[in-house]
Amino acid sequence: MKNNFIKTAAIMVVIGGFSTGCISLAGDKRVFHENGFEIVIQDRTSPLPHGSGKRTLEVSGRTFNNLYSASYVWIPEWSSIIFLTHREGGAYVLHIFSLEKKHDIAIKQDGFLVGIGIGRPKTDSSACYVEKVDGDIAVLVNRAYDAPDTRYQLDRAKKKLTPTR
């Protein structure tokens, strides 16, 4: 009898929180505009005290779940954005999304992780930014706190990300 009362009370608190607006699943929503396209980053919060939220990036009718990078970086030469997502089982995927073609190139990262700091200011100690673009090749600079910058070559034609020397 006591357990039923506790369960009922807990359910009423959750329902009451939803109906009064004390508990929100919407979370923080940021809207950006790049070259006439709208990009939305949504942080959804869990109604459970220790539940994890979910970050999404929405662009051109596509939703990318589990956004792992801080934000995205606009590459005007490609009319594309790049960002990092995380999938179950520890798979990290770097996306090159063409805004004009609405086409996604997904590059799974094996052995090293690049892109958590995408969207942070270049001066940030954990930033990841595009240093230069030459045709289908972009050079990404990945910063880590108290370590030298590391450069990676992002080849969108070959769908490959490799460290450079």
In contact, 39 and 59? CB cutoff 8 Å: yes
Q: What is the pLDDT of residue 54?
A: 86
The Cα–Cα gap between 92 and 133 comes to: 23
Structure token digits, residue 89: 């089982």
The Cα–Cα gap between 137 and 160 comes to: 10
Q: Which backbone phi and psi does 152 adopt, to 5 degrees?
A: -130, 145
Q: Is the pLDDT of residue 16 over 70?
A: no
- pLDDT tens digit sequence for 105-131: 999 997 778 999 999 999 999 999 999
Q: What is the pLDDT of the chain when averaged over all its residues? A: 84
Q: Is the pLDDT of residue 20 over 60?
A: no
Neighbour order of strands in the sheet with 103-109: 73-75, 80-87, 91-98, 103-109
Q: Is the pLDDT of residue 14 over 60?
A: no
- How much of the chain exceeds pLDDT 70, in percent? 79
Residues 6 or more apart in contact with residue 57 via CB below 8 angstroms: 39, 40, 41, 63, 64, 67, 72, 83, 85
* Predicted TM-score of the model (pTM): 0.79
Structure token digits, residue 18: 């939803």
Mean of the pLDDT values across residues 144-162? 94
In contact, 114 and 127? CB cutoff 8 Å: no
Categorize the per-residue pLDDT at 2 as very low, low, confident or very high, splitting at 50, 70 and 90: low
| Residue 135: closest CA among 56, 45, 75 | 75
- pLDDT tens digit sequence for 68-99: 999 999 999 999 999 999 987 778 999 999 99
Q: What is the pLDDT of residue 46?
A: 63
Per-domain boundaries in the chain:
2-163
